[in-house]
Amino acid sequence: MKNTQEIKETALAAADIIRERAPGFTATKAIVLGSGLGPLVEALRDAVAISYSDLPGFPRPSVEGHAGTLHLGTLGGQAVFMMQGRSHYYESGRPDGMKTALLALRELGVKTLFLTNAAGSLLEETGPGELILIKDHINYSGLNPLIGESGSERFIDMTTAYDETIRSGLKRSAFELDIPLTEGVYMWFSGPSFETPAEINMARVLGADAVGMSTVPEVIYGRFLGMKIAGVSIVTNYAAGMNDEPLSHEQTMDNADRAAQNFQRILIQYLESLS
């Protein structure tokens, strides 16, 4: 794990490069695009794209379907950053892979973080192609990106990690568009293997509605940085053991489309409602 000072310096260097590439651009919102949500960047207007490889400390995604590009532009009338591609714990064995990128975004003025992911659903009534609005999470991996931080700031309150006002706004936008948006609890498994049916039974007993391999470390670090957080899962499959479908990354991607399009409509409607 890099030390805090190194991360800060790297984040400031990345922020300087972003400022140079898009002079005068400011945005208070950032959206992290999970598996299958990449096409959302096509809805951006006046977009500038910067490859992560030009940005020190940004992740180097190794997963198919996760590009590695930071986009700046306007969506639903609001200036936004979009991170197309994230790092996952299972790629590196480290839970801090997104710290530098999130710190750079905070340095650039980001105050609200929209996190998206692909997830398996434990809800019979919310199947592949549907959306789950995350209202809380269970950090089942036990890992934490704040390990190694010092001072009392690291003891962050997670009681209202998923901002209630933003959740209400997203639910209202979904309702206006007639798109079902169930709220649920997301449980973070380290991956990369999918869960076993026994693990899914356990997750259900513990209160999970969705399972996935990302997002939670970004929520924790985003809260540490004082950002407001929203999280949405696109359901790509029923969780292991709920039906006879074999689980694979390809199947995950195939089912993402409808949910991604619906998420895009909800997000644009929500952003428009803010102006």
**Chain residues in the site for ligand HPA (CB under 6 A):** 118-120, 189, 194-195, 211-213, 236-237, 239, 247, 252
Choose, from 118, 230, 259, 260, the residue flagged as catalytic.
118
Among all residues, whose Cβ is closest to ligand HPA? 120
**Whose Cβ is closer to ligand HPA: residue 187's or residue 227's?**
187
The residue whose two tokens read 């609001």 is 78
- Long-range contacts for 243-247 (Cβ within 8 Å, ≥24 apart)? 247/120, 247/194
- 71 assigned to active site: no
- 27 assigned to active site: no
Choose, from 66, 130, 174, 195, the residue flagged as catalytic.
66
**Whose Cβ is closer to ligand HPA: residue 160's or residue 193's?**
193
**Whose Cβ is closer to ligand HPA: residue 149's or residue 218's?**
218
Nearest to 170 by CA among 112, 129, 230: 230
Q: Supply the minimum distance, in Å, between the C-beta of residue 98 and ligand HPA.
A: 17
> 101 φ, ψ to 5°?
-65, -45
Torsion angle of C-alpha atoms 48, 111, 93, 215, degrees rounded to 10: -90
Choose, from 90, 107, 144, 242, the residue flagged as catalytic.
90
- 213 assigned to active site: yes
- 214 assigned to active site: yes
Choose, from 27, 67, 87, 88, the residue flagged as catalytic.
88
Q: Supply the minimum distance, in Å, between the C-beta of residue 86 and ligand HPA.
A: 13
- 158 assigned to active site: no
**Whose Cβ is closer to ligand HPA: residue 68's or residue 120's?**
120
Nearest to 50 by CA among 85, 15, 21: 21
Choose, from 213, 230, 256, 259, the residue flagged as catalytic.
213
Q: Supply the minimum distance, in Å, between the C-beta of residue 5 and ligand HPA.
A: 34
Whole-angstrom distance, CA of residue 102 vs CA of residue 243: 37
- 90 assigned to active site: yes
Q: Supply the minimum distance, in Å, between the C-beta of residue 119 and ligand HPA.
A: 5
- 88 assigned to active site: yes
- 119 assigned to active site: no
Q: Supply the minimum distance, in Å, between the C-beta of residue 210 and ligand HPA.
A: 8
Choose, from 237, 238, 240, 259, the residue flagged as catalytic.
237
Q: Would you give the DSSP letter of residue 36? A: T
Q: Supply the minimum distance, in Å, between the C-beta of residue 163 and ligand HPA.
A: 23
The residue whose two tokens read 């195939």 is 254
Helix/strand/coil percent split, the chain, to 5: 35, 25, 40
**Whose Cβ is closer to ligand HPA: residue 97's or residue 212's?**
212
Residue 167: Cβ within 10 Å count: 19
Whole-angstrom distance, CA of residue 236 vs CA of residue 35: 10
Question: What are the catalytic residues?
Answer: 35, 66, 88, 90-91, 118, 213-214, 237, 249
